[in-house]
Chain A
């Protein structure tokens, strides 16, 4: 059923974007409220189908949500879930990094991206949309998406150098 697919897709995206169940639920609610309120603005002539339209609302709700959250004074009401995502205060004495720590590190790097960069990165890297599709969802040019994507990847890869370069990763060339 169409709405079943949509609610799951949007919730999954919102969760991947915020890494927080409560935030993802809030975004889902906001998306459905906006969809309901904007029903009369949906244009039949629009090329995008209804699923794309609601997904776009979900994407924009996610970005807005994060922007508002970042502008607010930080609160600690999510301390229960927050604890799990904090970086380890006691790194391994040998300064090696396990997969779980690496996952945490990457998660923090993704969180440090601007709301829009984060969305571009998630849509491209995890949701595997094309740059053209992302540009349509975000209502911007493909060039803008490419720039945002490059900046996002750069912001993630540079801090990881310390962990990846030191290890024995075979650097293959084309």
Chain B
């Protein structure tokens, strides 16, 4: 019976998981028990062989295939929205990955956010910890929205050049924050819905189509999105 206990402890000892007292007792026992001493020597040898035969090689995954599958399954599971067809398939796969990243970043910020660093007014209430990420999102949105809101069709100022991948990232971040905040703050959710609409129009806009640019400009102005973002910062 005692040997059974010690044989279990041999494994833990070899893994460095045995406490000091237990280690001392095990050593005392093995000094008197040949069977357990042999068991120890043999197990140690097995561990050595396991290490010698270990292979660290991991074949490269077919990442593209993986993301395509993720994309297909996300689209298949979720509600079918017409707006989702705005982007090619890879965008949704990227969305999942980015979402995972954004959430990681989001919660990482929560962990390191110091209350006295930003607007103390935002720190009241149980959802206050969510705001640093929202604030940052709004800051990221601002230059893009201002660019379109200030659009004029004059020859020297008739072109807007914004990397579409930035817009896609903003859309995904917007979707994620909207999903997280929906229940806690319906008014913020509404703002994020307006932002979503504008960002999708921007993502769809091609070339220098003046009509489209004017339409995006008026959408931003009519819905007062920039104003709403500014106001929400001070709430």
Contact = CB atoms under 8 A, between A and B. Distances in A.
Interface of A: 1-3, 6-7, 11-12, 15-16, 21, 24-25, 28-29, 32-33, 35-37, 39-40, 42, 44, 49-51, 54, 99, 102-103, 106, 124-126, 130-131, 146, 149-150, 153, 156-157, 160-161, 164-165, 169, 171-174
11 contacts: A3-B98, A3-B104, A32-B70, A39-B103, A42-B103, A42-B107, A44-B107, A125-B15, A130-B17, A149-B15, A174-B40
Contacts of A161: 42
A29 B111 CA distance: 28
B81 interface: no
A39 B44 CA distance: 43
B105 A157 contact: no
A42 to B, nearest CB: 7
B61 A24 contact: yes
Contact of A171 (B41, B97, B111): B41
Interface of B: prevailing SS = helix
Interface of A: prevailing SS = helix
A172 B59 contact: no
B43 interface: yes
B224 to A, nearest CB: 29
A156 B42 CA distance: 12
A1 B169 CA distance: 15
A131 B55 contact: no
A106 B8 contact: no
A131 B15 CA distance: 9
Contacts of B129: 44
Given A3-B104, A161-B42, A12 B97 contact: no
A21 B66 CA distance: 12
Given A33-B70, A153-B11, A174 B61 contact: no
Contacts of A28: 61, 66
Contact of A150 (B8, B61, B73, B101): B8
A146 B12 contact: yes
A89 to B, nearest CB: 20
Given A49-B111, A174-B40, 8 more contacts: A7-B97, A32-B100, A40-B180, A54-B104, A125-B15, A131-B12, A156-B50, A173-B30
A11 B61 contact: yes
Given A156-B46, A160-B46, A51 B104 contact: yes
Interface string B160-200: 00000000000000001001100000000000000000000
